Amino acid sequence: MSMWSARVDRVAGSRGFRPSASGALNSELARVVALFCAVRMTCLLALAVWSRSAGTSARELLSRRWDSLWYERVAQHGYDFSLVAPDGRHLSSTAFFPMLPWLEEGISAAFGMDLADAGLLISAVASVFAACGIYLIAEHLYSRPVALISVCLWAALPVGIVQSMAYSESLFVAFAAWALYSVMRNRWLVAGFLSCAAGLTRPVGLAVAAAVVLVGAREVLRRRRERDAEGPELWRVVVAGIVAPLGAVGFVLWVGARQGELFGYLDVQAQWGNGFDGGVSFSRFVASGMGLEAVWPLLLMALTGGVVWVHRILFRQSRSYPLVVYSGIVVVMAIGASGYFGSKPRLLMPAFPLLLPLAAAMVKARPSVVYALLGAEILVAALYGAFWLNGSGPP
């Protein structure tokens, strides 16, 4: 065992942490929450200082710009709000999935809060749940040290400031992480309903549903082939597979009914400049920036190869199959989207399983190296997040 692993395990053992005991698990998660909040507060402090020097409001940047305004409009007006862009495009609020606006409206009504503050509260709470879900997944597959590093890596992503905005990313990752963990622990009904909720939060909820459905189908086939009577009752697996895609599919079909076309949601997205071209736009953007317009297919192949390599590492562990399906679809949807290039790092943020092999590699290093790397990442995230929101920001 590496020096880092040994040190963490000694500390955990001295404090009585044992995964089998609920009290010990609560203590572990308390440490996770403390670590995650420390990283996020560092980033928010940097944003507050930067914004003050720039004469801007950190609260406004976090709660009332870009997509957060549209979520607030949905909470206020339902899906009857739309705008016409200067170039004539019709920007409809039906491009935004309903879970976050529903929660904003409910919390605002229950506690008398401003919708913007309700959105910030939702993201703050959801990001903590997301961090705990990521921790449990990584601990289930690897170890406590790997899980702690994974949480820190996710909290300190360069675009991690989005986790603290009135955006739907934190809420989605919370649903997704706990749904995937539930699949890995054979809690099929929980997985199905959490997947449905994820599908009502963002379009990429289809990735969670695909993981639940495909892993469930494999479980059913395995049980029938091996005549295995152990494990969860099959009706739970079947129900989970039926419920999982209902959120995303239901909303898309509802938008289509409003548009008068089965796939009217795609027309709505097209008006926003979003579509799917398999990564052509992304590759051309990168290639044109390097003066290599003619070699964009090679860049796409290199990027695809890197993602496949990480997924190959994950796939070696049979228990990580749900993560491979989920993160693979998230990456394809993010890279393959033809929308604004600057949004891609944000769209890739839910692909947290890609961080697990990196964390597993880092845990083998000396503790001083791990602390230095994580400290540098936190510093970059804090400064970049403050710079990003006071500049172009996330579209």
For all residues of the chain together, what is the average pLDDT?
86
In whole angstroms, give the CA distance from residue 263 to residue 374: 44
Calculate helix-pair angle for 22-54, 115-141, nearest 10 degrees: 130
In whole angstroms, give the CA distance from residue 344 to residue 162: 13
Confidence of residue 8 (pLDDT cuts 50, 70, 90): very low
CA 329 from centre of chain: 12
Q: Using only the alpha carbons of the chain, give its radius of gyration.
A: 21
φ, ψ at 275 (rounded to 5°): -165, -165
Q: What is the pLDDT of residue 157?
A: 94
Q: Is 229 helix (H, G, I), strand (E, B) or coil?
A: coil
Closest CA relative to residue 213, chosen from 350, 323, 333, 322? 322
**Could you give the C-alpha distances from 224 to 187, 214, 221, 231, in angstroms and in order?**
19, 15, 5, 12
In whole angstroms, give the CA distance from residue 103 to residue 34: 25
Counting residues of the chain whose pLDDT is more than 90, the rounded percentage is 64
Question: What tokens does 220 get?
Answer: 């059913």
Average pLDDT over residues 57-81: 93
What is the full DSSP assignment across 48-82? HHHHHHHT--HHHHHHSSTHHHHHHHHHHHTT--E
Q: Is 83 helix (H, G, I), strand (E, B) or coil?
A: strand
Q: How far apart are the first and last CA of the chain?
A: 44
Q: What is the pLDDT of residue 343?
A: 75
Domains in the chain: boundaries: 1-167+366-395, 276-338
In whole angstroms, give the CA distance from residue 241 to residue 234: 11
Q: Is the pLDDT of residue 5 over 60?
A: no
Q: Is the pLDDT of residue 327 over 80?
A: yes
Specify the amino acid at residue 62: L
DSSP 8-state symbol, 2: -
Q: What is the dihedral of CA 25, 31, 36, 39, to 10 degrees?
A: -170
Calculate helix-pair angle for 246-259, 205-226, nearest 10 degrees: 130
Q: What is the pLDDT of residue 12?
A: 41
Confidence of residue 272 (pLDDT cuts 50, 70, 90): confident
Between 2 and 389, the more confident residue is 389
> Where do runs of H (alpha helix) occur along the chain?
3-14, 22-54, 58-63, 67-77, 99-111, 115-141, 144-155, 169-184, 188-199, 205-226, 234-243, 246-259, 264-271, 280-289, 296-315, 321-336, 344-348, 355-362, 367-389
CA 249 from centre of chain: 19
Lowest mean pLDDT among 197-206, 215-224, 334-343: 334-343
Average pLDDT over residues 252-268: 93
pLDDT tens-place string over residues 203-225: 999 999 999 999 999 988 887 77
Question: What tokens does 29 get?
Answer: 């998660």
Counting residues of the chain whose pLDDT is more than 70, the rounded percentage is 84
φ, ψ at 84 (rounded to 5°): -110, 120
Q: Is the pLDDT of residue 24 over 80?
A: no
- Cβ pair 83, 69 in contact under 8 A: no
pLDDT tens-place string over residues 279-314: 677 666 666 655 555 555 565 566 666 677 776 777
Q: Is the pLDDT of residue 187 over 70?
A: yes
